[in-house]
């Protein structure tokens, strides 16, 4: 679980930096990573992931070549209780009022903030 939390932290920062010209695009990219790592084979959550064969999302790549019938997620999803805990954090960290301050790349240590909040709620020892 620690690796996924670390990935989410990195992806949050990437979303801010890659889409520093648009609050809407930042928010979509942030939400995409949360739902991506909420996905299971039985309940895929990839609608917000970038579509097409060039996507970073393996599910979207498979969809682009009509290969979803044989697609299997190659990562473990976060447990539902952890998702339930971090979802409000994601909602808070993707509010327009906060993201507007990040336009043009003024991130104010966004990775540090997300990482600290998540680990405060879900310590690495669990």
Number of domains present in the structure of the chain: 1
Tens digits of residue pLDDT in 71-93? 999 988 888 898 999 999 999 99
For 52, the token pair is 């097409």
Neighbouring residues of 94: CB distance < 8 A, sequence distance ≥ 6: 26, 27, 30, 31
The confidence score (pLDDT) of residue 106 equals 56
- Asked if 39 contacts 59 with a C-beta cutoff of 8 angstroms, the reply is yes
Q: Which of helix, strand or coil describes residue 4? A: helix
The CA distance from 93 to 26, in Å, is 11
Whether residue 108 has pLDDT greater than 90: no
Within a domain: 32: yes
Reference 26, options 117, 103, 114, 106; nearest CA is 103
The CA distance from 50 to 29, in Å, is 8
| pLDDT band (50, 70, 90) for residue 3 | confident
Within a domain: 111: yes
Within a domain: 6: yes
Tens digits of residue pLDDT in 13-67? 889 988 988 999 999 999 999 999 999 999 999 999 999 999 999 999 999 999 9
Does pTM surpass 0.85?
A: no
Within a domain: 55: no
Within a domain: 34: yes
Range of the domain at 83: 2-47+77-121
Within a domain: 66: no
The confidence score (pLDDT) of residue 24 equals 94
Within a domain: 38: yes
Within a domain: 97: yes
């Amino acid at each position: 679980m620690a690796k996924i939390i670390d990935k989410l932290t990195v992806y949050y920062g990437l979303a801010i930096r890659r889409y520093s010209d648009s609050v809407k695009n930042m928010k979509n990219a942030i939400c995409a990573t949360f739902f991506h790592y909420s996905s299971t084979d039985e309940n895929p959550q990839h609608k917000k992931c970038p579509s097409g064969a060039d996507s970073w999302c393996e599910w979207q790549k498979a969809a682009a070549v009509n290969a979803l019938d044989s697609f299997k997620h190659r990562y473990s999803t976060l447990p539902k209780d952890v998702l339930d805990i971090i979802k409000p954090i994601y909602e808070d960290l993707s509010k327009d009022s906060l993201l507007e301050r990040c336009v043009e790349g003024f991130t104010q240590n966004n990775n540090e903030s997300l990482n600290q909040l998540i680990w405060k709620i879900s310590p690495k020892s669990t």
